[in-house]
Amino acid sequence: MPYVVIKCGGSILNQLPDAFFENILQIKQQYQLDPIIVHGGGPAISAALEKMRIKTRFINGMRVTTEPVLNVVEMVLSGSINKSITRKLSSMGAKAIGISGTDCGLLTAKKLDYDKLGFVGEIESVNSHVLQALLGQQFIPVISPLALSKNGQRLNINADLAAAAIAKKMNAALWMVTDVPGVMHEGKVLPHLTPEQVEMLIRKKAVTGGMIPKVRAAAECIQSGVKEVVIVNGMEENSLLRLAGGGKMGTKFTGNGVLIDG
Ligand SMILES: Nc1ncnc2c1ncn2[C@@H]1O[C@H](COP(=O)(O)OP(=O)(O)O)[C@@H](O)[C@H]1O
Ligand SMILES: CC(=O)N[C@@H](CCC(=O)OP(=O)(O)O)C(=O)O
């Protein structure tokens, strides 16, 4: 069964209707696509930090992560958010299993730039055996984006980058579900983007904030041979079913200089 990594952004998680989660089950049953869920939770982390009066800030879409921030990141991502998605899918009859990237050596990472970002990591390895073992038993893995370094340090990973690394390793399609209908430019959704155009849009500041790691992760995936990377709005009706059926929606990433018709 081919795999699809579905990255659910924190921007939209709270608003996703039941139909979105039902779609996850349907793509498995009707389209024989094996889903791997990777979730974010940026806004929920920021809200929890605010409640605890811990200051937080972002550099190019990455949260500067001190030790106290890291504790809250893990609590929110691997705790409430991971469990609520897993519960929702389980209540619909799926064999959903929530795991952290730090479990079973699933994700290992090294510090990206400690002086600037603190405990933020970039993925070094994905343990595909763990995922294959779960998928082989018809489980739907629901993954929170934390990783361990070689010496056992927890690291905060941007969920887009975690999803991209998993898609690359599993040779899976990558669907990035967010709160906008795709990458916007001058008021319109760009139906296609190449890695070159991605860097140009970032330079022009047409792509900012959390969209920066998203488009960079998407471009890198395509350059590494991932066949399908799409950014879509999770609120569009049956977005996942339409993607599974080959429908055109959101922003699709393509290789440099490749002519595409869909
Ligand atoms: N060119 C762009 N097109 C669309 N969204 C953009 C663009 N530049 C910045 N953004 C912002 O990126 C946000 C999505 O990123 P983010 O909030 O990190 O989402 P998620 O939590 O789903 O990963 C959008 O809501 C929008 O505010
Ligand atoms: C390093 C870094 O920025 N980590 C993110 C992890 C969550 C995430 O990426 O959530 P979204 O998908 O909702 O943006 C953070 O701390 O917010």
Say what the pLDDT of residue 259 is.
Answer: 47
Question: Could you list the residue range(s) of the whole structural domain that residue 195 is in?
Answer: 3-253
Domains identified in the chain, total number: 1
* Lateral strand order in the sheet of 34-39: 96-100, 140-144, 34-39, 3-8, 173-178, 229-233, 251-253, 192-193
Task: For residue 22, tell me if it sits in a domain.
Answer: yes
DSSP conformation class of 65: B
Task: For residue 211, tell me if it sits in a domain.
Answer: yes
- Mutation probe of ligand 2 site: the residue of 12, 16, 46, 63 with most atoms within 8 A of C-beta: 63
The string of pLDDT tens digits covering residues 119-152 is 999 999 999 999 999 999 999 999 999 999 999 9
Q: Say whether 156 counts as a known binding-site residue.
A: yes
- Ligand 2, atom 16, residue with closest C-alpha: 63
Task: For residue 258, tell me if it sits in a domain.
Answer: no
Task: For residue 262, tell me if it sits in a domain.
Answer: no
CATH number of residue 200's parent domain: 3.40.1160.10
Residues of the chain with pLDDT under 50: 259-262
Say what the pLDDT of residue 38 is.
Answer: 98
- At residue 100, what are phi and psi to the nearest 5 degrees? -95, 150
Say what the ipTM of the complex is: 0.98
